[in-house]
Amino acid sequence: MFLIEFGRAKMACIVENLSEDGERAILEWSGPTGLLGCGFFHVRNDRIIFQRGYPDQLSFFGAQGIPVPADYPGAWQFLESKMKRVTGIGGIFFKSQDPERLGAWYRDHLGLDVTEWGGAIFQWGGPDSAPGMTIWSPFGQDTKKMEPSSAPFMINFRVADLGALLAALRSEGCEVIDNTEPSEYGKFAWVIDPEGNKIELWEPPAGQ
């Protein structure tokens, strides 16, 4: 009865799940704006004799753009599901036998604008582009920047909310290096990937 009748109805919601047990049924639904909800039905002789429906409060907050209170039950899981993680590549760092000589080669043959400190900065551009930059930089073989990884490189990823991402990574069992470094250039932290590579996470200052 439910599958037929709800299939015929012109509804703004999408049927996500339908469970039936004798005269009773539970309908889980979602809306086009991301709102979630459920309905409870008691059916007898193909007629609904009792019905109650409830929207999910957290998805209602999200659909309406209302900030979710941090102490609201279930808020952490909801905020985590909406959280942006990596938003772009912030830098590529690697070991070199002769960083100065290598930088000169990249400048002369590939046109990189290598600065006095040995790296190059690629500014993001375009009218629809978010502000930002990606750094390319070689380091000497004796650098400790990649430790404790033995890899000769490290990728820097830009992130939207470093604190929230670190909490999520820890809850997922990832190997997070505990010492974070706030500075005038933003907030930095690190995580080790499954192959032992050190990954740098960078939350830039607002507008950068």
Q: Which of 15-19, 66-70, 172-176, 196-200 has the lowest mean pLDDT?
A: 66-70
Q: Are 110 and 117 in contact (CB under 8 A)?
A: no
Q: Give me the mean pLDDT over the 21-49 stretch.
A: 82
Q: How far apart are CA 184 and CA 171, in angstroms?
A: 28
pLDDT band at 73 (very low <50, low <70, confident <90, very high): low
Higher pLDDT, 92 or 127: 92
Name residue 155's beta-bridge partners: 92, 199
pLDDT digits (tens, 9 = 90+) for 151-198: 999 999 999 888 888 888 888 888 998 677 667 888 899 999 999 999
Secondary element (H or E) of residue 123: strand 120-123
> If you average pLDDT over every residue of the chain, what do you get?
81
In one-letter notation, the amino acid at residue 124 is W
The pTM (predicted TM-score) of the whole model is: 0.59
**pLDDT > 90? residue 204:** no
Domains of the chain, each with CATH number or no CATH:
2-70 (3.10.450.50), 86-203 (3.10.180.10)
Find the DSSP H helices in the chain.
Answer: 2-8, 57-64, 75-82, 99-110, 162-171
Q: What is the length of the chain? A: 208
Candidates 191, 130, 201; CA nearest to 162 is: 201
Higher pLDDT, 14 or 175: 175
| Structure tokens, 176 | 């997070």
Q: Give me the mean pLDDT over the 30-46 stretch.
A: 80
**pLDDT > 90? residue 92:** yes
Q: How far apart are CA 119 and CA 113, in angstroms?
A: 8
Q: Give me the mean pLDDT over the 105-116 stretch.
A: 93
Candidates 19, 28, 27, 26; CA nearest to 59 is: 28
Distinct helix (H) and strand (E) counts, the chain: 5, 11
Higher pLDDT, 197 or 6: 197
**pLDDT > 60? residue 45:** yes
